[in-house]
Amino acid sequence: MEQLKSIHLPIELVLNIITCSLPKPNVLLAPAHPITQLLVTFTLVCRETRKLATRYLYQHCIYLSSQERLSSLLLTIPSRPALRNISALYLAPFGHTIDDQPVAIWVRELFNYTCHTLKRLIIDMPLRSLYPEDDHLGVRDILRQGFLRLENLEEFVSVRDEIFLSLEHDGTEPQFWRNFPKLKRLALYNPDINPEFWEDVAAVTQLECLVLTRADGLHSRDGSNFKTEYFRHCDRPLKVLLVNTDSDQIRSGNMRRERWDDIDPTKKMLIMTYNIPLLFEDDNPIEVCQVYVKTGAEYGTIWNWDGEVIQHRPKFIQQRSSGA
């Protein structure tokens, strides 16, 4: 039987196959994802496919989910200067605690390399696992030095906490994310919502969207009045998304909404609740929320989530509460 001859496709067609395989521009892919594996395969085909596939790997697949992956990337950067131009990455190099000085130094080194181009960052770090008074190796300060280099960051997601990098534990320091002047989108886990929080939010002058997962201080009768506190310091539009499981979610009737019509008559601040489903009775709400937010951040969809809008109080309720 006559052997089949190999079919050689034009290189332009092969390159087009690579391009058509790509996800949306704002998607980060894990190493095991089929598209990541496909791009890695194309780096082994020929010089032309390697060049294109490598560029897309740098754009979509910088997924540092272990200290080994972080260390490997740092060792590769000197021989591949293009890695200094990373614009987006997922970073989770620690285990259950950040009390690991070598890894903290690697994180600082990574940010020193990429600070000029990095615009999108997702971190999954247990920053609250080490409090300032227990930090005998200066790990928190090392991490702070690295994060402070991120002068061009536009999108920041912290899966596990509110980016707790304070050097004091008394909560008197401004929120650390105030240090990012170009920040447009910010997602935090379990922040404490108080008047000082909104002052910090107002200080981030480019901020457009704020996602707060399982935030504290919402259910208290003395809780923060979002619009009163925010518009006390600025007059910019802002989308606020409150993410939680349905059973723990804040209801509009429990939220302070006094004078919203006077404070924000054109509704520049849009506040919505977004409920994450618990599929099984033994699901851990904390873990479910964190995984859900992490996935939404990786796929870039989190900023477009829409939920139930927290409306201004009806006028007759406002008049009754004011004694009219």
Q: What are the tens digits of pLDDT across the range 231-289?
A: 999 999 999 999 999 999 998 888 889 999 999 999 999 999 999 999 888 999 999 99
Whether 94 is in a domain gets the answer: yes
Task: Please check whether residue 156 is in contact with residue 183, taking contact to mean a CB–CB distance below 8 angstroms.
Answer: yes
Residues 148 and 218 in one domain: yes
Whether 278 is in a domain gets the answer: yes
Residues 245 and 166 in one domain: yes
Residues 33 and 125 in one domain: no
Using CA atoms, how far apart are residues 39 and 71, in angstroms rounded to an integer? 21
DSSP 2: P
Q: Which long-range contacts (CB under 8 A, 24 or more apart) does 284-291 make?
A: 285/214, 285/244, 285/245, 285/247, 285/248, 286/214, 288/245, 289/189, 289/213, 289/214, 289/243, 289/244, 289/245, 290/124, 290/159, 290/160, 290/189, 290/213
Regions in the chain scoring below 70 on pLDDT: 1-9, 169-171, 220-222, 316-324
Using CA atoms, how far apart are residues 132 and 294, in angstroms rounded to an integer? 26
242 SS3 class: strand
Residues 301 and 236 in one domain: yes
Q: Which of 27, 45, 61 is the last residue of a domain?
A: 61
* Identity of residue 21: S
Residues 84 and 14 in one domain: no
Whether 261 is in a domain gets the answer: yes
- What are the distances in angstroms from CA 232 to CA 73, 171, 229, 239? 45, 21, 5, 17
The H or E element spanning position 145 is helix 139-147
Whether 1 is in a domain gets the answer: no
Q: Which pLDDT score, from 0 to 100, does residue 175 have?
A: 94
Q: Which pLDDT score, from 0 to 100, does residue 14 have?
A: 74
Whether 98 is in a domain gets the answer: yes
Whether 223 is in a domain gets the answer: yes
Please tell me the total count of domains within the chain.
2
Q: Which pLDDT score, from 0 to 100, does residue 141 have?
A: 95
Backbone angles phi and psi of 244, in degrees to 5: -170, 170
Angle of helix 47-60 versus helix 11-20 axis, rounded to 10: 10
Residues 77 and 181 in one domain: yes
Q: What is the pTM of this model?
A: 0.91
Q: Which of 17, 35, 61 is the last residue of a domain?
A: 61
Residues 137 and 22 in one domain: no
Whether 13 is in a domain gets the answer: yes
Residues 68 and 57 in one domain: no
Q: Which of 61, 80, 101 is the last residue of a domain?
A: 61
Output the CA torsion 157→114→150→177 (10° steps).
20
Whether 2 is in a domain gets the answer: no
163 SS3 class: coil
Residues 32 and 78 in one domain: no
Residues 56 and 202 in one domain: no
* Structural domain of 48: 8-61
Residues 228 and 128 in one domain: yes
Residues 94 and 33 in one domain: no
